[in-house]
Structure 1
Amino acid sequence: IHTPHLLCPGLWGLVNNAGIAIPTGPNEWLTKDDFVKVLDVNLIGLIEVTLSVLPLVKRARGRVINVASIMGRLAFFGGGYCPSKYGVEAFSDSLRREMLPFGVKVCVIEPGYFSTAVTNPELIVENFTLLWERLPEETKASYGEIIHATRDLPKSCNSDLSVVTGCMEHALTARHPRTRYSAGWDAKLVFLPLSYLPTWFADFVLTWSYPAPAQKV
């Protein structure tokens, strides 16, 4: 069905929320294809969807809401997830500045740890197991068994997803939406402040909670 442009009011809001984290693990365990799989969904897919509907959003002087992550400020673990979220941040910044003259608002939501499929411990352990089985023996010996550490993840995850959806609602409906929303106490009180501190300090804090490899020096 062809709708003439004059009869189409446009699209008020686009919320890009699709995302995956697996395959994930120490970068040395991964291949290029592992990175591409995550980047294709989290970053390239987001860009593709945004560009496809951007003319409609411009027509409505609407909103583009991109869900990144606090991991778009601090890369806490290896794999394509953190680079993809850094990319979402950068794409959103450039798009926001380009769309400003057209009256389009571009917002970024940066959730902390929430109970979703991305943080499902069973899926993460299964992912680690599959990666572990394909590693050469030399690499296995240097790391040792660290899979068990992922089982503690749910203890630090927020189950109240309304914290995130509330940010989405405000970004879509507020007269003056924020440029960035930090969703979750960990994002606001830990990761966001940590991202502004010296890199050496952030490295110390983040690696302190890493499981120690077997051949740590």
Structure 2
Amino acid sequence: MIDVTLNLLPLIRKARGRIVNVSSIAGRHALCGGGYCISKFGVEAFSDSLRRELKHFGVKVSIINPDFFKTEILNSTRLKENITNNWKKMSQNLRNDYGEHYYHNYCKFIEEICSRSSTKLTLVTDCMEHALTAVHPWTRYSAGPYAKFLYMPLSYLPTSVADYILGS
């Protein structure tokens, strides 16, 4: 995403074009471990800095924050298999430190997220369409009910309150 954007930037500036990046609600709240949230926080930071830098050139930058959609990334069988494999690779001491309850709660969390996922991908593509065609596109789009009514509003609260609500 960064490489393509930077290579096309001269043309985008010249055309006073638009950049629309798809992040995730996990770019606003680190909902799980691993590299996924880290990469989405990176999309957010890159897009925010681009938006500020390119405003002078008339370029508009938007970020789309989808919540949970039935795509391959939310394949609960594959996710739980990966979690189980990683759990088994951990040393016994580390597993003891975390406790079996941590492993089972994390699997339950993954199952819950996957069960909430929507098949209505038009919620995301409608945001994309608006970001690309509106006279005044929004800076951020919340695609999906959890993004719009839970995770995005939580991102504006003090961290301790958001952590409490998310059960951290």
Q: TM-score, normalised by structure 2?
A: 0.90
- Residues 46-55 or 158-167, more deviating: 46-55
Give the corresponding residue for 1:113: 68
Structure 1 residue 49, shift from structure 2 partner: 1.6
Equivalents in 1 of 2:165, 2:77: separation in Å?
A: 26
What's 1:157 paired with?
Answer: 117
Larger-gyration structure (1/2): 1
Report the identity percentage: 50
CA distance in 2, matches of 1:166, 1:86: 23
Gaps of 5+ in 1: 1-45, 209-217
CA distance in 2, matches of 1:198, 1:188: 18
TM-superposition CA deviations, 1:34-76 (whole Å, max 9, x none):
xxxxxxxxxxxx2112111111212221111111111111111
Asked if 1 retains the 8 angstrom alpha-carbon contact of 2:69 and 2:121, the reply is: yes
Residues paired across the two proteins, number:
163
2:77 corresponds to 1:77 = no
TM-score scaled by length of structure 1: 0.70
User: Counterpart in 1 of 2:129?
Assistant: 169
Tell me the equivalent position of 2:44.
89
Question: Which structure has the highest helix share of the two?
Answer: 2
| Matching residue of 1:143 | 99
Q: RMSD across aligned C-alpha pairs, in angstroms?
A: 1.5
Letter in 2 for 1:128: I
CA distance in 1, matches of 2:73, 2:82: 12
Could you tell me how far 1:130 is from its partner in structure 2? Answer: 2.0
What is the distance in 1 between the residues matched to 2:72 and 2:30?
19
Equivalent-residue separation in structure 2 for 1:101 and 1:201 (angstroms): 37
Whichever residue aligns with residue 92 of structure 2, its letter is E
**Does the CA contact (< 8 Å) of 2:54 and 2:60 recur in 1?**
yes
Cα 1:195/1:59, change in 2 over 3 Å: same
SS where residue 31 of structure 2 aligns?
coil
2:10 counterpart SS class: helix
Displacement, 1:80? 1.4
Pairing partner for 2:15 from 35, 41, 60: 60
Higher relative contact order (CA 8 A, sep 6+): 2
